[in-house]
Amino acid sequence: MRTVGVEEELLLVDPETGEPRALSAAVLARASQDAAEQDVFEKELHDQMLEFATHPQSDMERLRAEIVRCRKEAARHAGEIGCAVAALATSPLPVSPAVGMNHRYQWMADEYGIATQEQLVLGCHVHVSVDSDEEGVAVVDRIRPWLAVLNALSANSPFWQGKDSGYNSYRSRVWQRWPSAGPTEIFGSAEAYHRRVTDMLATGAILDDAMVYFDARLSRRYPTVEIRVADVCLHADTAALVAALARGLVGTAAREWREGLQPVDHSVSLLRLADWRAARSGLTQELLHPATMRPMPAETVVRALLDHVSDALADTGDLDRVREACADLLRHGNGAQVQRELLRRTDSLRDVVTGCVRHTQA
């Protein structure tokens, strides 16, 4: 059975005011004192961010439990220095991001200017194991049309610098400012994939292969496909759902490859439009159907995703659980909908943040 790991980026905030706090170094220093946590938490581009990574899991309930545990540990370490963690993909309150002081981050600040300063956005990356680079690239080629649906399910960033952005996932719009970010054309082979990465590095526009920010890519460190389209999810249940669907997509794509089925040849232009629509609409309006690239109700498109991966989900014993989780998410709303409902009830973005601090550990 394929293993799955999740990386989540959390926002460090003041527990009273909800304002982001540039305290990641202090939180990491606390975490480093715990031997069991030394390989779990990492620094990110901005000092208001804290990242953790789960261990690979084959059982989705165990993965969910580890996401919950890591969130609680992050909250504990943050609480020891007077701040809190919130699973928010953008800060609802205005913020002046502090770029970390190391060579890599300073290179990015110098090279990309204000785009680096404005990249205080927080995502969820899902790693799914593959047997080889050839299988991995075959998967990357075949999951392209479905990734926008994961963006819609995870959408959790409606506010930007104190205002409603008009999007459900504004994080994904900000992320597209990186020159290497976004959907990819069909590669066809591992050789072609690696040749493309080499050509990108030769331009000098990116520092190293860690900055190949494809929506789905071969991991640099692990034998996995890394799917990078999701907002950090407000609830651990949603993160586990996205992870299960990601494994279902990988399993389905690998099976299609072995059976000789060719990937759907949607252009990058259409894939960008699908991603934009998912970011704009979330689960509240229409999405572009991955097969036809025509607008259809979000519930219909989510159902199409479930149908597409149903055999793979059945193979791993996840089908009923994932169906129920999708139904709950459609019924109760994703993080963006929860945030807007909190604002409607409280008329305070501060209360949105403090409410989301509680949701993060629910």
What average pLDDT does the chain have?
96
Q: What SS3 state is found at 91?
A: coil
Q: Is residue 90 part of a domain?
A: yes
Q: Percent of the chain at pLDDT above 70? A: 99
Question: How confident is the model over 68-91, as pLDDT tens digits?
Answer: 999 999 999 999 999 999 999 999
Q: Is residue 362 part of a domain?
A: no
Q: Is residue 361 part of a domain?
A: no
Neighbours of 122 (CB within 10 A): 25
Distances in whole angstroms, Cα of residue 133 to Cα of each of 119, 170, 212, 224: 30, 32, 16, 9
- pLDDT reading at 37 higher than 70: no
Determine the pLDDT at residue 8.
Answer: 98
Determine the pLDDT at residue 36.
Answer: 64
| CATH code for the domain of 178 | 3.30.590.20
Q: Averaged over 302-328, what is the pLDDT?
A: 98
Q: Is 0.95 topped by the overall pTM?
A: yes
- pLDDT reading at 48 higher than 80: yes
Q: Averaged over 47-54, what is the pLDDT?
A: 96
Q: 């389905």: which residue's tokens?
A: 252
Q: Is residue 91 part of a domain?
A: yes
Q: Is residue 252 part of a domain?
A: yes
Q: Is residue 345 part of a domain?
A: yes
Three-state secondary structure of 235-296: CHHHHHHHHHHHHHHHHHHHHHHHCCCCCCCCCHHHHHHHHHHHHHHCCCCEEECCCCCCEE
Q: Averaged over 320-349, what is the pLDDT?
A: 98
What is the rounded CA–CA span in Å between residue 278 and residue 287? Answer: 6
Q: Is residue 61 part of a domain?
A: yes
Q: Averaged over 229-245, what is the pLDDT?
A: 98
- pLDDT reading at 344 higher than 80: yes
Q: Is residue 37 part of a domain?
A: yes
347 is in which domain, residue-wise?
Answer: 4-356
Question: How confident is the model over 141-180, as pLDDT tens digits?
Answer: 999 999 999 999 999 999 999 999 999 999 999 999 999 9
What is the rounded CA–CA span in Å between residue 284 and residue 34? Answer: 42
Q: How many domains does the chain have?
A: 1
- pLDDT reading at 34 higher than 90: no
Question: How confident is the model over 180-198, as pLDDT tens digits?
Answer: 999 999 999 999 999 999 9
Determine the pLDDT at residue 35.
Answer: 58
Determine the pLDDT at residue 40.
Answer: 81
Tokens describing residue 34: 């715990």
Determine the pLDDT at residue 122.
Answer: 98
* Between 172 and 30, the higher pLDDT residue: 172
